[in-house]
Structure 1
Amino acid sequence: MAGLAPPVLLQRLSLSTTCCVLLLLMLASHPALAKTDAPCQRSKWNNGFSTFVRRHLLPGTPNTENKNAWFKFIKDNTGCGRPTQSFLPSDDLDRVKAVCSSQGGKVYKDNLCISRKPFTFFTVRSEKDTCGIKSVKEETKYLILACENVDNQCVPVHFEGNPTDAKPDNNARACQDPDKAGASAIGMTTWLLWLLTSVIMVLIVNAH
């Protein structure tokens, strides 16, 4: 670039810098790399699945709408920091995990999958801090779960409410398996890096 006049040199450097910044922003903003807005992407929360199980699939969950039984259970186990809590039978663990697979779930939106079959669970509403039970309701609905890749497994990390009693869309694609999601993310990363390298090489060639 020794033969270039200073204004031309600055212009090309500015163009190179701008292209690099734009491509880096593309890398940072791509959903497979920056945030989990599709099911089964790599989770930023390593304890997401274990926390999900502790909150929603505890052994000894009362199989009743009796408020006294739930008061004792919540007081002794999950606490009342969350005013609304939903509990599934611990025996349903494998079925619940399957919602985050192609066999058990369909894509709902973002990183959420909806179960192919309905589940029965209890929704408990309580007073914050005091654990006073406001209501206990046994419900049968399709589960909506946030599904993320933890330790190379696509598993639920969040229980999303289903107040509108949504059902799976027959035309929606299956909830992705982790290997497919991973392959998709790797493929897009490779393509963007190739694009960035190509643009930089073109700018270098044109500078000489």
Structure 2
Amino acid sequence: MYFLTNVIFFICSFALLDSWMMAARIVLLLFCSLLRTRSNNNDAFEKFRTRHILPARSPATITEWERLIQKRKLCDRPVQSFLRQSDLGDVKAVCTTGGKEYEGNLCISQRSFTFSTVSYDVRSRHVTSVVRETKHLILACDKVNNKCLPVHFKENPDNENPREHAKLCDAPRRWAE
């Protein structure tokens, strides 16, 4: 969809160079701008999934962690957190009823999750540590195929909890703004 909107925007830009009536130009430009700004970020959730969701059989050794990181092309990331595949439904729910507003498009989970944080030496291309943590997740959420889904995993170094009176992450309300 993003590619398609870019193509349409490009075509629309070319059309404006022609000698069309001024009114047609304005309408066409507005239409193209609307398409470009309302497009979904359809690849963002898949990127999140690749970076942060483990396969059904989680790595058990340092060598398996290194293979996973190299296979997924995450070698340029010195710290990477991975969630269990069995938690994927609950992780997605953080962006709606399972999370509360944190700041901007960030939502914080209402419950704690256990995940693995892997430290990776980008120079030597070796895993230096794997630490299991249990914390509330802070996730950036975005519109993907008309669903609110996680697109970024933000660290929670102070082990923050959701604020008691914070609103639920309610995507349709935020999309209307």
Aligned identity (percent) is: 45
Letter in 2 for 1:51: K
Letter in 2 for 1:180: R
The higher relative CO (CA closer than 8 Å, separation ≥ 6) is in 1
Aligned residue number for residue 47 of structure 2: 51
For 1:148, what is the secondary structure of its paired residue?
strand
Q: Distance in 2 between matches of 1:104 and 1:79?
A: 28
Aligned residue number for residue 181 of structure 1: 174
- Identify the match of residue 118 of structure 1 among 77, 100, 112: 112
- Identify the match of residue 145 of structure 2 among 146, 151, 174: 151
Q: Is the 8 Å Cα contact of residues 80 and 130 (structure 1) preserved in structure 2?
A: no
Letter in 2 for 1:98: A
* Pair 1:171-2:165 in alignment: yes
1:84-103 to structure 2, matched below 5 A, reads 84-101=79-96, 103=97
Q: CA deviation at 1:105?
A: 0.2
Q: Distance in 2 between matches of 1:152 and 1:59?
A: 25
Aligned residue number for residue 125 of structure 2: 131
Q: CA deviation at 1:141?
A: 0.4
Letter in 2 for 1:155: L
For 1:162, what is the secondary structure of its paired residue?
coil
The structure richer in helix per residue is 1
- Identify the match of residue 83 of structure 1 among 64, 78, 88: 78
C-alpha RMSD of the superposition:
2.0
Q: Distance in 2 between matches of 1:129 and 1:79?
A: 13
For 1:173, what is the secondary structure of its paired residue?
coil
Q: Distance in 2 between matches of 1:56 and 1:111?
A: 18
Gapped regions of structure 2 (runs ≥ 5) = 1-33
Write out per-residue CA displacement over residues 112-146 of structure 1, whole angstroms, 9 at most, x where no aligned residue.
00000000000001011532112110000000000
Q: Distance in 2 between matches of 1:84 and 1:109?
A: 23
Write out per-residue CA displacement over residues 30-58 of structure 1, whole angstroms, 9 at most, x where no aligned residue.
xxx9xxxxxxxx67633111110111113
Letter in 2 for 1:53: R
For 1:166, what is the secondary structure of its paired residue?
coil
Gapped regions of structure 1 (runs ≥ 5) = 1-32, 34-41, 186-208
* Pair 1:70-2:86 in alignment: no
Q: Is the 8 Å Cα contact of residues 120 and 139 (structure 1) preserved in structure 2?
A: yes
For 2:67, what is the secondary structure of its paired residue?
helix
Aligned residue number for residue 18 of structure 1: none
Q: Is the 8 Å Cα contact of residues 87 and 122 (structure 1) preserved in structure 2?
A: yes
Q: Is the 8 Å Cα contact of residues 84 and 115 (structure 2) preserved in structure 1?
A: yes
Q: Is the 8 Å Cα contact of residues 114 and 133 (structure 2) preserved in structure 1?
A: yes
Q: Aligned pair count?
A: 141
